Chains A and B, each alone.
Chain A
Amino acid sequence: MLRLFLLGSMPVAAEAPPGLSELQAQFSEAMRTPLRILDAAGGYVVQTGAYPPALTGRITPDRGQPGAARLSSYNQQYWFRLLTVMQEEYPLLRHLLGVTDFNAMVIDYLTAHPSTSPRLRHLSDRLVGFLEGSQVWGGPQRVQCARLEHAYIQAFDAAHRPSMALTAAALTAPLTVQPHLSLVAEDWDLVYWRAQVRQDADDAIAVTLSARTAWWVIWRGAEGTIATRLGRHQHALLCRLAAGEPLGAACAGLAETLDAEGQALVMENIQAWFAQWASAGWFC
């Protein structure tokens, strides 16, 4: 017998057996109990005393260990798995903070914002906001670094829609940029340093950030993820377009922020810019 699945009327299984939801909530709480990070050598403390007693009493003791000790395998594996993912996806932020502080920061972040997606690529979707609001972990360098590294995640596997050629209609209709494209402004040469630390498996490089503002598009081309450097005015114009302004309005809005020299520069180059951006397939 085949079930029919009609839009808006998905079948609902029977209610869960009594107590199952509570048990799983308690198990989840035990798993997500923060590890207390001790040192860079990987030392940490498992806080089994924080597990819900109603749960630990239901776990069969084994090998001379009480239920809480048996549960700690899951608690440790949870954090190892997520810390590993975050370390791989945020190599520069990890380098800037150092492994010990990075792990402690990730534990704070995921305690405040547990994963809500079955796919790990979304694990850090709220990291920038977390850092922006954190007295402990925030700061402009870390926030910009997290924003940049999240852009690389987005560029890796977000959708690529059919590219749009620029026509007269684009002057009035809002342009849309590719979902895998992010516009990033950063003040410490972070793209350069990220490339360096990714090749540095031994953490031997000393990252010395010096002030140098740069504007980037992080996107995906035929050869993979790419960082393309932009000029300040190019970045400002693309930001306006990405925010939904039609081309004409975006150009006019940008011009209002520029002096005569800036306006002349934009007027002189804008056609070439758009030809380049359109040929790269950035608009859709």
Chain B
Amino acid sequence: MTATATEPLPMGAAHAGPLAHAVGVGLRVVHLPHIFTHWPAVDFFEIVSENFMVDGGLPRENLERICARYPVVQHGVSLSIASAEPLDFDYLRRLKALCDRTDTPWFSDHLCWSQSGGAHLHDLLPTPYTPQIASFIAEKARIVQDFIGRPLALENLSSYVSFADSTMTEWDFYRAVVEQAGVGMMLDLNNVYVSSVNHHFDPMDYLAAVPWERVMQIHLAGPSEQPDGSLLDTHDSPVRDPVWALYRHACRQRPGIPTLLEWDASIPPFPEVHAQALLAREHARGC
């Protein structure tokens, strides 16, 4: 399915399918022995695309075993859609090949940049929020979605700096990009919360501006706190109560949105991570 700038995504495009109401877990190497032994009942796994854009070996073998048993959704970290540099079609070819292998129903990456002058910075970096930059990114996002041939969902960032020359709020910028591009949203509620603390805004103002029909998936995670009170998006702790509150609001807006828990550092055993993810179902029921 490919949408254009003038065609909004069909309502419920993402969650009308088999992943409606699904609660997934980010696939992490440390959990593979448990998964391959117990084959836990998980609705879907999300993989970090770049970890599997390799030519052979254990990563590919493990992915094939996972794909044989579970739906897999791809999430990338290196698209660098907001980079001033041209799209990397070598990267996109590899990404497309992986999408075809996993048959991911959509693929996501971040509304950020991560390379400059040929150097990859391996981080998710913010940009000033202006209409010109939003339009520039939207055009690139449209090209990427068409090239891959599957729906693209862009994820909002956690950010630690703001630019004096921004002329839009983050949420207006995010909305402008996805609507102009005709792509979906990967709404990370922990990132909304982290940025709201770091940049002193009300996260409900953010959610009030979200075009819910474009939200294809939700991310949940736990941050860590800095000595100055700011938050880092470290994915190393349970989901915080304010994020669950945002999640309940999201579920009221769009019941059944596929939801995924990310845990990337100080990773507990799989049953603990899965149990944390399944709390999402309890919160969704309570809406």
Q: Which residues of A contact B (CB under 8 A)?
A: 1-3, 5, 10-14, 16-17, 20-21, 23-25, 27-28, 31-32, 57-60, 62-63, 65, 67, 70-71, 73-74, 77-78, 81-82, 114-121, 155-160, 179-180, 220, 224
Contact = CB atoms under 8 A, between A and B. Distances in A.
Interface stretch (B52-60, B207-215, B236-244): B52-60
B118 A20 contact: no
A114 to B, nearest CB: 4
A117 B57 CA distance: 19
A121 B54 contact: yes
B70 to A, nearest CB: 21
Interface of B: 2, 4, 50, 53-60, 78, 80, 83-89, 91, 113-123, 125, 127-128, 130, 132-133, 136, 139-140, 143, 146-147, 160-165, 198-200, 226, 228-230, 232
Contact of A74 (B125, B146, B147, B163): B125
A251 to B, nearest CB: 30
A29 to B, nearest CB: 9
A24 B84 contact: yes
B200 to A, nearest CB: 8
Contact of A159 (B56, B59, B84, B127): B56
A73 B91 CA distance: 28
A155 B58 CA distance: 10
B18 to A, nearest CB: 25
B164 A60 contact: yes
A62 B162 contact: yes
Contacts of B84: 16, 20-21, 23-24
Contacts of A224: 58
Contacts of A157: 54-60
B55 A179 contact: yes
Given A13-B86, A13-B87, A13-B139, A2 B161 contact: no
6 contacts: A11-B143, A20-B133, A24-B127, A155-B57, A156-B58, A158-B54
A10 B230 contact: no
Nearest to B113: A24
Nearest to A84: B265
A119 B53 contact: yes
Contact of A28 (B117, B163, B199): B117
A91 B135 CA distance: 46
Nearest to B166: A60
Contacts of A25: 116-117
A42 B138 CA distance: 42
A159 B55 contact: yes
Contacts of A13: 86-87, 136, 139-140, 143
A62 B198 CA distance: 9
A57 B103 CA distance: 46
Contacts of B114: 118
A243 to B, nearest CB: 21
Nearest to B54: A157
Contacts of A155: 57
Nearest to A27: B125
A58 B91 CA distance: 31
A165 to B, nearest CB: 20
A70 B143 contact: no
Nearest to A154: B57
Contacts of B147: 3, 5, 10
Given A11-B143, A13-B86, A23 B125 contact: no
Contact of B146 (A3, A57, A116): A3
A116 B120 contact: yes
Contact of B78 (A11, A16, A118): A118
Contacts of B143: 3, 11, 13
Contacts of A21: 84-85, 116
A158 B146 contact: no
Nearest to A178: B56
A31 B123 contact: yes
Contacts of A11: 143
A78 B122 CA distance: 7
A114 B120 CA distance: 7
A28 B119 contact: yes
B91 A160 contact: no
B283 to A, nearest CB: 30
B228 A65 contact: yes
Interface centre among A24, A31, A160, A179 (most CB of B within 10 A): A24
Interface centre among A16, A63, A116 (most CB of B within 10 A): A16
A221 B128 CA distance: 49
Given A13-B136, A13-B140, A13-B143, A116 B119 contact: yes
B116 A63 contact: no
A28 B121 contact: yes
Closest 6 CB pairs of A and B: A118-B78, A159-B55, A157-B57, A16-B84, A21-B84, A114-B119
